[in-house]
Structure 1
Amino acid sequence: MKILVLTWEFPPRIVGGIARHVAELYPELVKQGHEINLLTIEFGHAPMYEEVEGIRVHRVPVEPGDNFFHWIANLNQSMGKHGGKLIVEEGYFDLIHAHDWLVADAAIALKHHFKIPLIATIHATEYGRYNGLFHNDHRYISAKEGDLVYNAWQVIVCSDYMRHELQRTLAVPWDKMDVIFNGIRPEKKPRLHEFDAENFRRRFAADREKILYYVGRMTYEKGVQILLRAAPKVLWEMAGQVKFVIIGGGNTDHLKDLARELGIWQQCYFTGFMFEEDLHKFQAVANCAVFPSLYEPFGIVALESFAARVPVVVSDTGGLPEVVQHGKTGIVTRANDPDSLAWGILETLRNPDYVGAAIENAYRDLGRRFSWPKLAQQTEAVYRRVVRERSQVEW
């Protein structure tokens, strides 16, 4: 099959989880014999066209806008124009696959103009991120999500939680959705013997300190503030021998102020953005990963920790309880509850026997449930079903 993919992020442009998702899913589909042309936006010194693991990557220029929504409109105009040119020059495509609302207008226009069935993957919803729609920006984005799923022949979501959410908030019919988990490439994680782990670790904590970390965006729904509020209890029980490392770019001033207010500033390290090579090494030397999200459609960060053999503590929101099996591959705590989170962290730091078993169970689970070759086969099955259905109807 010949697939046209639209995504607003692709490495080296990494904004959230979509970049890693598309960069790791489509090489597996290429291996299965499919031709993938991927449209994304220009970024830095990345070439406007290149082949990445068999994916034909086309980066399009985007004119600056007066605001974010104007920029998105320009993005879609550029993608639509380039996508149409590609279809005319390269011949018929079997499917268009769009990732989230930001590329919806271009994907929908190409679908109707060329009569090519559209598949949409919804990675998160605006309603879910804010637990409601409270102003016009929220409602605008939600409407774009609604347009995309309405125009899609089939919708892919990353968890059962998201399937329920789309049915509830966007009125997507149950049988129009397929659940396909996110995956991970565990082989990319280094082991301790492959670098100077001892000295690398000392960049973040003293030898006597346990390293506990969060990595991700610094937005309210990620729950970093819950982790900081759990920290005093953890530090009290662990005689202060824990370093809380907060990894991620963006504005962290409010979180730093909270750390000072709670009296834990000396035990916190806000690293800012961390390059992937260093992040892989960091995970190898850490003692515990914590993801206290208030909203999390899936939780690919938990898989990253599984692959790095780091024990995880997560909240019971969204898709996280589907990814982390409580007591077997990690600990699941109550969302928005610092006491519950502190309990989960202490259970992990104090029980090396449990940690050893959980790490092994989690690593095995990667091959069973989160292997990209298997997930690509599931995606291919959706593709084949849609192509078959398309062949049976007049458009």
Structure 2
Amino acid sequence: MRILALAWEFPPRIIGGISRHVAELYPEIVKRGHEVHLITVAASDVPPLEINEVVDGIYVYRITVSTDGEFFQWVVGMNACMVNFARQLLQEQSMDLIHAHDWLVEESAIALSQDFNIPLVATIHATEYGRCNGIHNDTQRYIHQRELKLTQFAQRVIVCSEYMQGELQRALNCPPTKTDVVYNGLSVERWQKITAEQDCDFTALRQKYAEPDESIIYYVGRITYEKGIYILLNAMPKIVAAMNDKVRLVIIGTGEAYAILLQRQAWDLGIYHKVLFTGFMADAEFWKFQKVANCAVFPSLYEPFGIVALESFAAKIPLVVSNTGGLPEVVRDQVTGIVTKVNDADSLAAGIIRLLKDQAYAKSLADNAQIDLKERFAWDRLAAQTEAVFQKCFT
């Protein structure tokens, strides 16, 4: 098949999880004998291209979009640019299928599918309903309507977990018979980078974050309400007491406005001296940091899948997650990690304390997770499943 893919982000333009998903899925699709043409938005430091740039076998076309106006005007402009570019591309060569990622490219995906009579498959990575625990204002309603239209028009809809399959049925009235579950994965290349030997003084590195006798717990990801970081802070007094004060929490990620509220919470709880907010951390630095950490924690209130869990698997970091969204599908409780009650600081604290106090048990979970990473979350297997979804459009 010749596939036209539409995504608003692709490395080095990285805003959320779509960028990595697209960059890791399509090379495996190419290996299966298909041709992928991706239209995406140029990063600020990457010039737009009028000719093909081939990235890991993908033909990538980066378009520039005016930054004037507010965000939704920008989205409209991006779709117009995508349609204009795609029309020229489709005059030169035909496409068998359009693969659209999330509501942001809904307008261009539907327009091109209709105008050129090309089947459309949509991947929904998350929903506005899920992120916001309902639809409460006009902004959310606008996005929700775009998601509705995209899923209604698409021949097939791909989601990243069984939880998301249910959410699409509840929130978008998209029947399970129309949706296919294909998990996210972790590429072999990224796994190798995470686990590679590092030329580093790890004793000195560890001292940047904690005292020599302190265990290091960390959270990495966006600093937003839905990630449940406030629950982790609420759990910390109990963890500090159980570990005789020998523990430190490192919070990694961006979201300055909300981070200020969390810092105030830590102060009010009397644990400010036990919490370090690092802000953004580049991959190379983070992979080194993981080698001195003891436990990863993802206490999300909403999480369609949780790629960060896979990266913890790769780094052999024992982890604790909440039983929300797709996390309980990714992390098998008591097998590859500990799954705790969502929005429950006591449950979260108990899980973390168990991992920190029983190192043999923690290691067994991390070892099991390595097996799951190879067997359940390998991109070559997930690409085969995606290919099978594409083929349903022609049967």
TM, length-normalised to structure 2: 0.96
CA contact (8 A) 2:195 2:314 kept: no
Q: CA RMSD in A?
A: 1.2
Match of 2:129 among 127, 130, 136: 127
CA contact (8 A) 1:213 1:288 kept: yes
Aligned length: 387
Match of 2:195 among 177, 183, 190: 190
SS state at 1:51 partner: strand
Identity of aligned residues (%): 53
Deviation at 1:40, TM superposition (A): 1.0
Deviation at 1:48, TM superposition (A): 2.5
Map 1:153-164 to 2 at 5 A.
Answer: 153-164=155-166
Question: Is 2:75 the counterpart of 1:68?
Answer: no
Match of 1:217 among 219, 222, 233: 222
Aligned amino acid, residue 43 of structure 2: F
CA contact (8 A) 1:191 1:284 kept: no
Residue 28 of structure 1 is matched in structure 2 by 28
Map 1:67-146 to 2 at 5 A.
Answer: 67-89=70-92, 91-146=93-148
Question: Is 2:53 the counterpart of 1:55?
Answer: no
Runs of 4+ in 1 over 6 A off after TM superposition: none
Change (3 A) 1:259 1:192: farther
Residue 45 of structure 1 is matched in structure 2 by 45
CA contact (8 A) 1:224 1:293 kept: yes
Residue 17 of structure 1 is matched in structure 2 by 17
Question: Is 2:203 the counterpart of 1:201?
Answer: no
Change (3 A) 1:192 1:206: farther
Question: Is 2:174 the counterpart of 1:168?
Answer: no
Gaps of 5+ in 2: none
Gaps of 5+ in 1: 390-395
Deviation at 1:194, TM superposition (A): 5.1
1-side partners of 2:147 and 2:292: how far apart? Answer: 40
Worse-superposed segment, 258-267 or 112-121: 258-267
Aligned amino acid, residue 140 of structure 2: H
1-side partners of 2:83 and 2:214: how far apart? Answer: 53
CA deviation string 1:167-218 (max 9, x = no partner): 1110112111000000012222134565433322222222211111101111
Aligned amino acid, residue 92 of structure 1: S
Residue 248 of structure 1 is matched in structure 2 by 253
Worse-superposed segment, 194-203 or 362-371: 194-203
TM, length-normalised to structure 1: 0.96
CA contact (8 A) 1:190 1:281 kept: no
Residue 365 of structure 1 is matched in structure 2 by 372
CA deviation string 1:59-116 (max 9, x = no partner): 1111124211111111111111112211112x11011101100111111111111111
Residue 151 of structure 1 is matched in structure 2 by 153
Aligned amino acid, residue 248 of structure 1: G
